[in-house]
Structure 1
Amino acid sequence: MTESDKHPAGNPLLAGLALLCSQLSLNVGAAIAKHLFPRIGVEGVTAYRVGISALVMLLIFRPWRTPLTVKQVVNVAIYGSVIGLMNLMIYRAFSRIPMGVAVAIEVAGPLTVAVLSSHRPRDLVAVGLAAVGLYFLLPIHGHVDQLDPVGVAYAAAAAVCWALYIVYGKRVSAMSGGQSVAWGMLAASLFIVPIGVAHAGALLLTPSLLLVGVAIALMSSAVPYTLEMVSMRTLSSRTFSMFSSAAPALSALAGMVVLGEQLTLTQWLAIAAIVTASALTSLR
């Protein structure tokens, strides 16, 4: 049995619910964030999300009370760097290609983790079913030439970051409370916030924009990353990855509610396939 197949003590139902709430919060926050792109740019919105989240997590969990080992410092540094890059890359993708398409490409990261960590035929069937759903979510039926290749590349980079986030998130999830998330967000903010300040400057201090930035930070980072830490303690990397594969479906729903995007019948069928795949892999 591999390390990813060992489950720490915990309630898998609650862990799955925590991950579902995490994805809902994350996608609604992303839809709101897209409205700010024309005002302060992708870099400015990313700085809001990462920087404010880091401050909130540091104030709540005060991680400095428990010293880190050298190994934990390395893992947290990589974990935080991956968080920062993942946020920046997916927001840049959102600015160039549709939100649902970007997330559908990004989810290749957790799907890859699921395939590499799987040892049961049922899990491979679930991966294939999710892949079918993703195929019908992608606009590759006569309109693929309209996709911005730079936007696709950004989404692919976010997919790599998401896979690494799962791997290193699992390694730091054993740390007490929200310590791992707090340290990770601090590491992410150390290089993301300066980029945002260099791009948007004093506009970041505009009260109305700052208020929206706080909401984005809480919904897109502080809340979901904390809930994901809770779920990672119980779920294996494979199960966590397959739950995460439902992200395009939740992203499409968030786009419909917040941005007024309408779904076709084919897209609804694709959503059903992904949800079924996620449910299949979580069965024991």
Structure 2
Amino acid sequence: MDAENHPQGLLPEGVTSPAVLAERLEAHDYLADTGLATACFLALRLHRPLFLEGDAGVGKTSVGHVLAGVLDAPLIRLQCYEGIDASQALYDWDFPRQLLHLRAAEAGGERDPDRLEAELFDRRFLLARPLLAALETTPSVLLIDEVDRADDEFEAFLLEVLSDFTVSIPELGTVRAEVPPVVVVTSNRTREVHDALKRRCYYHWVEHPDFAREVAIVERRVPGASGRLAEQVTSTVQRLRTADLLKPPGVAETLDWTEALVALGTTELEPELASATLGSVLKYREDQERARQQVAGIVQETVAG
């Protein structure tokens, strides 16, 4: 889509600034800071893929979900992993159904090989994987999650698809998106993603939220938590992020820990209970052992403060 010919881009009606978009995001329970709201606004306005990079648990994946809600469009998710290839992301043929059709056709007396081949590679036997499904669905939000887990070859393939939003299927021809999907690409930076893909996108590094915004996120997402508990958990987690841990906790872990404490019926964080529920916030045994010596003191300071 040419931004000059479509001055609103893919922005919803009435969204005229990043601040207005931030209000729409908040209405869908996502509290974005100015930088992220601006990145989302420009990605939609200019119709460019949005590349979000940052530590695990800061809310990158949730951006795809909330944009789908704001745009009232289906979310189509492509979860990347080591070894993923084009057929798993694009399309495949339904071989069992093709075989059943072939047997039925032969039983019915069909002997024309060209006709049989044409029938076998009909669109009804094509299994659309996330990329093809996104091209064929208008409007849609395509979430390409954790692209850093895929290899270089798959990254190059993605770049080709995102460049013109077309796919060539030898048996059927070229599929072109009537309106290209909104694309959100996320990376936890377990490896460097090539510059070519980043240049194709609008790039934004997602920071951990500051204290006030993280407390607001907890209060919004865990309404059963007292204000005091939300503040204590957030303060403790933010202190843990500065510790020497294998995997510092993200916002997702802040929410998990708060939910666990609410489930136990507490309205205030206590050192003994904090130590007993570390499995909600720290997912490595080494981190738990390292933090268990510190967390009691951190919680005592937080409660006293």
Q: Shared topology, TM-score over 0.5?
A: no
| Higher RCO (Cα < 8 Å, 6 or more apart) | 1
Which protein has the bigger strand share? 2
Kindly name which structure, 1 or 2, has the bigger radius of gyration based on alpha carbons.
2
Pick the TM interval, shorter chain.
under 0.3
TM-score, normalised via structure 1 length: 0.25
